[in-house]
Structure 1
Amino acid sequence: MSKKVPLLKVVKQAVSRVTSEAIIIGADSHMSCIGSYFVDQFWHMPRLDELNITELIAYCERYNIGMIVPTRDGELLYFAKHRISLAERGIHVMISDEQAVTACLDKLRFFEELHTYQYPVIQTTLSIDTISATRYVVKERHGAGSHNIGLNLNKEEAINQANKLSIPVFQPFIEGKEFSVDMYIDRDRTMKGVIVRQRELIVQGESQISTTVQHPMIEGVCMRVAQTLQLYGHIIFQVIEDKRGSIHIIECNPRFGGASTLSIAAGLDSFFWCYLEARGEELAAYPFCRSETEKRLVRHTNDWIIDV
């Protein structure tokens, strides 16, 4: 949960449209987690590598928890592995199956799998010598996000950066416009809605200024990829459109992102739809209604002062 306060707020808003009786329980292995101030109840939970699934189920049943929303990359595989066991106890998780999550978190596998289907995915390799480029990107093979990423490096710089990583992969550096693509895929693996947003100011891998746009070509290719991978829930694709107008899929994060609240505001009702599915409802009566106007997100620090 960490400091993902905007996410907590949109979850609360979505659930409150269905019932006024539900409470939001946050969980984190750090007791001083900032998000703990923005939930109805907080669980100082064990680390996931120390949390037995039986213990998690027992906690959920004790507090009548019917829906779990994973919020960080490090917990996606845990919940994907236990998704069915949790569902059997009436606990719905917004997560794709293990195979799909693994394909998204392993950048080399992501490239190889999508390249087989001839999708425009960026070349990714373990050896820099197999790439025909003058500038390079170096990143960790596993996980998502921008941790220790090296951007726009020459070959020598790329090799030096790779020596600092656990399992580095190399990609060609491509200049162009950067986009994030938020989408929601329902439990029948049907696309519910898609929003494309242009990343205008990026700080440490996250959009600080982002604007929704209409881009049918990017929407179409990302929708096809998501259905090929059999993803579920809220999904984010990162895409670059180069100067020639060609599309390059960089990665897929099978979770809600830092600036995805913009897509919620533009009509992508992910948490509302997920909560309805957790209650066993069908989504046909709840259509995707995209905002008629484009919207811009400007992220900024906000202080909150409380009495103690």
Structure 2
Amino acid sequence: MPRVLVTGAGGPAGVVVIRSLLKRPELTVFAADMDGWAAGLYLVPAEQRRLVPPGRAEEFVPTLARLVEDDAIDVVVSTVDVELIALSERRDELAPAVLAAPSADTLDVSLDKLLLAERCADTGRAPRTVLAGPAAQAVDWEFPVFAKPRQGAGSRGIRLVPDRAALDALPVDEGLIVQDFLPGEEYSVDVVADAAGQVVAAVPRTRARVDSGVAIAGRTVHDPELEETASAIAKAIGLVGVANVQLRRGRDGRAMLLEVNPRFPGALPLTIAAGVDIPSLVVDLFLGRELPASVPFREVAFVRFLEDVIVEIDEVLVSDHAGHQEEL
């Protein structure tokens, strides 16, 4: 019976991955987080709950390796960017378990917006992207343009640059990039690629309502352009496994690359309900099982709400790293 450890059990992605895998009785699912208040911990039996250090901590990878050995884990599923970064170059330390994540190269490219644009240039769907400073000042832009951190997720640090004077005033010591402005509608496309890098599913969805960077309402859409664009980007970065490709329509209406999140997205319940159970597919992939050539999906909408998980007081895990307001 395969044993799977899911980390980041307190986040939206961690919760949905755990719930997906619990539907498969042949899997034994363990849940881990740095915070004893993480809701996903309490979706699994008490003997399968684990506390780990923060992903940036020096002891994170060795601790995970010990858990893998002690619990005879076969597959590790990390749902947190910072943990993936820590694990990507040291996945051999988890052996014999496998890390269900893209390659270190795919992760590095995806998390660096300049490298990502360069890698995807041949798709014709990457916006013009250059470093702030002399390189950006030398381009004949159509204003406004966007400036954003070269690395980092979400909307943090993004600024609209209205004219040439504002472009020239951008700081050059903050790792900023400058990109063409994409004024159209934004889409998220959840993508799964098999061991050969062939995309078996690309599910576009709208982000009708967003809270703290996570979609809380939206719908899946059948749109060949969005599916083909996301698939081309996945192939360009050498994706094996899961990624969330964010697209936005440019001034000419064409779908263009915004960014790639090389992990499980928080809005996976919509994609799963549409017919593509990404966590289950990814676990099968990293267990060495062959995936279908393609997985169809249907158009469906969702809205999200908070759901309570009630536990006994003595079940709550006390952690050193976050969350607790009182001694239990």
Query: Shorter-chain TM-score: which interval?
Result: 0.7 to 0.9
Per the alignment, residue 296 of structure 1 pairs with 301
| CA distance in structure 1 between the aligned counterparts of 2:277 and 2:92, rounded to whole angstroms | 24
1:125-178 C-alpha deviation (Å, 9 max, x unpaired): 22242361322323221133223333x442466777x65984222223221111
Q: TM-score, normalised by structure 2?
A: 0.80
Per the alignment, residue 24 of structure 1 pairs with 30
1:178-236 C-alpha deviation (Å, 9 max, x unpaired): 11110111223222211111222334433232110011112112212211221111111
Cα displacement (A) at 1:105: 0.4
| CA distance in structure 2 between the aligned counterparts of 1:42 and 1:133, rounded to whole angstroms | 53
Q: TM-score, normalised by structure 1?
A: 0.84
Per the alignment, residue 10 of structure 2 pairs with 3
| CA distance in structure 1 between the aligned counterparts of 2:189 and 2:130, rounded to whole angstroms | 24
| CA distance in structure 2 between the aligned counterparts of 1:59 and 1:112, rounded to whole angstroms | 38
Q: Which runs of 5+ in 1 are unaligned?
A: none
Cα displacement (A) at 1:84: 4.3
Per the alignment, residue 120 of structure 1 pairs with 125
> Which of the numbers 92, 96, 108 marks the counterpart of 1:102?
108
Alignment CA distance shift 1:62-1:206 (3 Å): same
Question: Residue 18 of structure 2 contacts residue 40 of structure 2 at CA under 8 Å; is this kept in 1?
Answer: no
Per the alignment, residue 37 of structure 1 pairs with 42
Give the partner amino acid of 2:102: S
- How do 1:42-191 and structure 2 match up within 5 A? 42-48=49-55, 49-51=57-59, 53-86=61-94, 89-115=95-121, 117-127=122-132, 128-129=136-137, 130=139, 132-150=141-159, 152-155=160-163, 163=171, 166-191=174-199
- Report the secondary structure of 2:65's partner residue: helix
Cα displacement (A) at 1:266: 0.9
Residue 271, structure 1, aligned to residue 279, structure 2: yes
Give the partner amino acid of 1:80: S
| CA distance in structure 2 between the aligned counterparts of 1:18 and 1:226, rounded to whole angstroms | 31
Q: Which runs of 5+ in 2 are unaligned?
A: 1-7, 314-328
| CA distance in structure 1 between the aligned counterparts of 2:173 and 2:38, rounded to whole angstroms | 28
- Report the secondary structure of 2:28's partner residue: coil
Per the alignment, residue 253 of structure 1 pairs with 261
| CA distance in structure 2 between the aligned counterparts of 1:7 and 1:52, rounded to whole angstroms | 17
Cα displacement (A) at 1:246: 1.3
Give the partner amino acid of 1:138: A
1:244-270 C-alpha deviation (Å, 9 max, x unpaired): 321211111111112122111111222
Question: Percent sequence identity over matched residues?
Answer: 24
Cα displacement (A) at 1:66: 1.5
Question: Residue 197 of structure 1 contacts residue 213 of structure 1 at CA under 8 Å; is this kept in 2?
Answer: yes
Alignment CA distance shift 1:131-1:8 (3 Å): farther
Alignment CA distance shift 1:72-1:163 (3 Å): farther
Q: Whose RCO is larger (CA < 8 A, sep 6+)? A: 2
Give the partner amino acid of 1:82: R
* Runs of 4+ with deviation above 6 angstroms: 156-160
Cα displacement (A) at 1:304: 4.6
Question: Residue 131 of structure 1 contacts residue 172 of structure 1 at CA under 8 Å; is this kept in 2?
Answer: no
